[in-house]
Structure 1
Amino acid sequence: MIRVLIVDDEKIVRKGMISFMPWEEFGMSVVGEASNGEKALEFLETNKVDLLITDLSMPVMSGIELMGEVSKKFPHIQIVVLTLHQDFEYVQQALRVGAIDYIAKTELEKEQFEDVLSRIVSLMDQKDSLKRNLISEEKVEEANELVVLYSLNLQRDEAKLEPTLLKRAFEADIGIWYWTDILEKEKVSVLEGLSKMDPTLEYALISFQDLKGMDRKSILQLIRGYQKSGLFYDFDPSLPFQVVQSEDVLVKKDKREAKQDLIKMKEKWLSGEWIYDDTVFARMCYELKSMRMPPIRLTRFFYSLTDEWNRLYSRILPEPIIIEDFLSSWFHFEKWLRDTREIIKVINTKTPFSDEIHDSIMKAVTLAQQMIDQPLTAGEIARKVNMSSSYFSQCFKEIVGQTYTDYLREIRIERAKEYLRNSSKTIQWISEKVGYNDEKYFSRLFREHVGVLPSEYRKIVP
């Protein structure tokens, strides 16, 4: 509630404003009135006030003089001036001294009350926000510790906090609030408040240490940058409050995964070894997490893998394996991986082959992807995975749902489409890159399966 003090030497003006303006509708309450500046200061000494509405022309102490005293002694109080139209120059002076707005007494008619109060509340919010930012800038640069509250549910409208949980907090960005001098009991209060909220809404309370020598801009970049990547990997719902060293965040921020690392990682996840061996699965999860890919890149990376898994198991999957567009943390992502692993394990039991055979077929699929530019026959691939040619062909068709030849042709056409969409390379170059040395044969094959020649496909795709 905004507490208001009205100061005017005309009693009828004071009583009229108190009685007729819809204060409560705008979260306001008139807590006092005074007939001049001196009485107003006496009232302020013993009462809490947020907004002072004062006339400019008063005996004993003018409105301008009152504003000067209030600005010195009660800087948190915001001021609106009352005036007549002929006092325009006086109003300009009042605005320069610090008033946020003025009310012309001729405006005080019933149909304008709502407009006046609405305007004042809006201006108070703007001024209060500016003050908080200035205070924040001073305190951030002096802080040795910064306690930051992150929302992990930014894509949900429900991800809102009760104002009581954010007392004395500053907002750094959407879904990020921080305290420069939070007390231990306040931390406990915030954590208790969060625990009572909807359990599907997740928040992380992080204490950043070792901030000495960092200016406000660097600190805000740190906590915003941590939200984009570090928070995803560090969040643990069993640890509602965590301590993070700022130096560690900065080091991790500079780490970038190499393209070659991604290729090798994709090869591993396309093999079947991780499905049946717990140790291999744990090691691969650790390696993947250590790369600390930005969450959006990690999601895209596994989009392509789920496409391959779905193609591989399309015949026996009850429904396609999907990855959500938004996963709030590594904790949830790893759970998705474990669930996916169990799904594949279950569907593999529907075929009459051992885990070793499934693993060999998955290795064959990986080799086909890796050596797509080479003319590998089914017999050559069978030898590479230590299987006889006939048994390999039988197992491949049973597990994958199509012959090795059909599968190889399909992935080659799909790779050619990627080259046509994303490069300006010649048709001959693309043909060779997908395992066909004869450009004419490749073009004819492409048209049979896509419906248009490669050159025409390049023109019609976006």
Structure 2
Amino acid sequence: MIAVLIVDDEKIVRKGLTSFMPWSQFGMKVVGEANNGENALEFLESNKVDLMFTDLHMPVMSGIELMREVTKRYPHIQIVVLTLHQDFDYIQEALRLGAIDYIAKTELDKEQFDDILVRISSLLDMKKVRLLSQPEQEDRIDSKVYVAYLLSTNHEFTLEASETAEGGIELESGIWYWNDRPEPLVEALAYFCIEGTSGMERKELYKLIRNYKRNGLFYDYNPAVPMKTLTLEELVNRVSYEAQVEITAIKQSWLESDWIYDEELFETRMKELKTIQLPAIRLMRLFFSLTDEWNRMYNKMLEQELMMEDHFITFVQFSEWLKRTRQLLRDCIEKPQFSVEIQSSITKAKTLALQTYKNAVTAAEMAKHVNMSLSYFSQCFKQIVGKTYTDYLRDIRMEHAKNYLMHTSKTIQWIAEEVGYNDEKYFSRLFKEYVGMLPSDYRAGHKLDRERDK
């Protein structure tokens, strides 16, 4: 069992890491906490610790000072840095002192905990077996180095024919390093030249190269560019960059229909996504959710459901999928008897209905909102969508009600109000017409199904 010490002057950070990280799944156990460097050293005097997480800015003794002491007194202890600082020199100092990884505190949410421990566990294993500090290698390196990342069809970074990487060093599976420009290897390799590395410690550079695979490569890889050049400072910034964005706002912009019709706006939205650079896993989660919403909005017009791939290796692949998806949406909603403006208005009405289904937005109010007369709005809505606005709104509400009944223990009255009905009896009657049974019977049936599945 790997014994872990957490050092941070913020109690909420210490408790959060201790409570929410799935330590035991990775053979780790938190054996202690400390709120500054001095208390950490006092703890280390009488307790066995293998891995230490430490903040950099703390009172009494900073994280940098603590790392210097731990490196001298307890060289076997591996260190992971917690920081809000993305300063180039500051990060270099932490790496120079032997940190095996650093984590921006903005990453510390429950969705990221598994990913963080997978990475750290892998780094601990690699430290035992990799040749990053072989004695025959010089500790300092030249001003320019070359790196290749394999992008394979099974979504892993591996190089099957290692003999083709003549003169290279395999830093980890699928990452190769050269001091001199290599000969072309195999197809689907992403090549990078890193400049400004003169005098840098080899171990420090290797760490940045490995971390770049998960932070920057997804957005930077372009098959049209044989070899991309990065300065060392750009590499550090790309590794440490953490998007500070409001996901809800991004999702809202893609739920609007204007980008489907407007090529220039679509390209602008794509550039915004690449500029924001959400971590790839978060980008995938966002567009899985959006795909579900698009299927719901356009289900009557789509010949088949929109499908998103489970994983994209690069932003280039993701953008190609999104272009195809846009074309499918455009094809299904461009009906010759209606102008683009009318189709856009009806799509906007559908989007608003999905977002405001809890409120009593009538057909007349919706027609006014999209600048159409009530009669023409009703006519166009039914012909384009395949049902009346009232039926469309009811269907949205009933689908949400079914979800509440299956997955919550809320009362029928609460669910009725949550989906836009103040009268429980009226809601129950509509639900029975829609589903074929009362809400209570629907809930009971799904409860039995779940118990049988256990």
TM class by smaller structure:
0.5 to 0.7
Displacement of 1:412 in angstroms is 2.7
2:243 match: 256
1:342-383 C-alpha deviation (Å, 9 max, x unpaired): 233333343411110111111112211222321111111111
2:375 match: 390
The 8 Å contact of residues 233 and 329 in structure 1, kept in 2 or not, is answered as: yes
**Cα gap change, 1:144 to 1:422, in 2 (>3 Å):** farther
Whether 1:318 and 2:317 are equivalent positions in the alignment is no
Q: What do you get for the CA RMSD once the two structures are aligned?
A: 3.5
2:164 match: 165
1:400 to 385, 398, 403: 385
1:62-105 C-alpha deviation (Å, 9 max, x unpaired): xxxxxxxxxxxxxxxxxxxxxxxxxxxxxxxxxxxxxxxxxxxx
1:38 match: none
Displacement of 1:242 in angstroms is 0.6
1:309 to 294, 297, 303: 294
Q: How many corresponding residue pairs?
A: 319
CA distance in 2 between partners of 1:145 and 1:273 (Å):
46
Matched ranges for 1:48-67 at <5 A: none
The 8 Å contact of residues 311 and 400 in structure 1, kept in 2 or not, is answered as: no
SS in 1 for 2:294: helix
**Cα gap change, 1:245 to 1:158, in 2 (>3 Å):** closer
The 8 Å contact of residues 266 and 305 in structure 1, kept in 2 or not, is answered as: yes
CA distance in 2 between partners of 1:208 and 1:440 (Å):
69
Q: Which structure carries more helix by proportion?
A: 1
CA distance in 2 between partners of 1:315 and 1:424 (Å):
32
**Cα gap change, 1:136 to 1:362, in 2 (>3 Å):** farther
Displacement of 1:167 in angstroms is 2.2
SS in 1 for 2:134: helix
The 8 Å contact of residues 144 and 212 in structure 1, kept in 2 or not, is answered as: yes
2:333 match: 348
TM-score when normalising by structure 2:
0.60
**Cα gap change, 1:157 to 1:306, in 2 (>3 Å):** closer
1:236 match: 222
Question: Which 4+ residue blocks in structure 1 deviate beyond 6 angstroms?
Answer: 420-426
2:275 corresponds to which letter in structure 1?
A: S
Displacement of 1:222 in angstroms is 2.8
Whether 1:284 and 2:284 are equivalent positions in the alignment is no
CA distance in 1 between partners of 2:129 and 2:294 (Å):
53
The 8 Å contact of residues 149 and 157 in structure 2, kept in 1 or not, is answered as: no
1:392-435 C-alpha deviation (Å, 9 max, x unpaired): 12222222232222222233334445566777766655544432
1:329 match: 314
Displacement of 1:131 in angstroms is 7.8
CA distance in 2 between partners of 1:418 and 1:171 (Å):
50
Displacement of 1:439 in angstroms is 4.7
**Cα gap change, 1:292 to 1:319, in 2 (>3 Å):** same
The farther-off stretch of 316-325 and 445-454 is: 445-454
Matched ranges for 1:289-300 at <5 A: 289-300=274-285
Q: Radius of gyration: which is bigger?
A: 1
2:351 to 346, 366, 369: 366
**Cα gap change, 1:396 to 1:149, in 2 (>3 Å):** same
CA distance in 1 between partners of 2:234 and 2:432 (Å):
54
**Cα gap change, 1:388 to 1:168, in 2 (>3 Å):** same
Matched ranges for 1:424-435 at <5 A: 430-435=415-420
CA distance in 2 between partners of 1:392 and 1:295 (Å):
40
CA distance in 2 between partners of 1:288 and 1:457 (Å):
43
2:210 match: 224
SS in 1 for 2:224: coil
1:247 match: 233
1:56 match: none
1:204 corresponds to which letter in structure 2?
A: A
1:272 corresponds to which letter in structure 2?
A: S
**Cα gap change, 1:373 to 1:282, in 2 (>3 Å):** same
Displacement of 1:224 in angstroms is 3.1
CA distance in 1 between partners of 2:372 and 2:395 (Å):
23
**Cα gap change, 1:148 to 1:383, in 2 (>3 Å):** same
SS in 1 for 2:358: coil
CA distance in 2 between partners of 1:136 and 1:290 (Å):
42
- Percent sequence identity is 41
The 8 Å contact of residues 154 and 175 in structure 1, kept in 2 or not, is answered as: no
1:413 to 392, 398, 409: 398
CA distance in 2 between partners of 1:446 and 1:144 (Å):
70
**Cα gap change, 1:257 to 1:142, in 2 (>3 Å):** same
Displacement of 1:447 in angstroms is 5.9
The farther-off stretch of 382-391 and 222-231 is: 222-231
Displacement of 1:240 in angstroms is 1.9
1:163 corresponds to which letter in structure 2?
A: S
Displacement of 1:160 in angstroms is 4.0
CA distance in 1 between partners of 2:273 and 2:197 (Å):
29
1:269 to 234, 247, 254: 254
The farther-off stretch of 418-427 and 325-334 is: 418-427
The 8 Å contact of residues 372 and 433 in structure 1, kept in 2 or not, is answered as: no
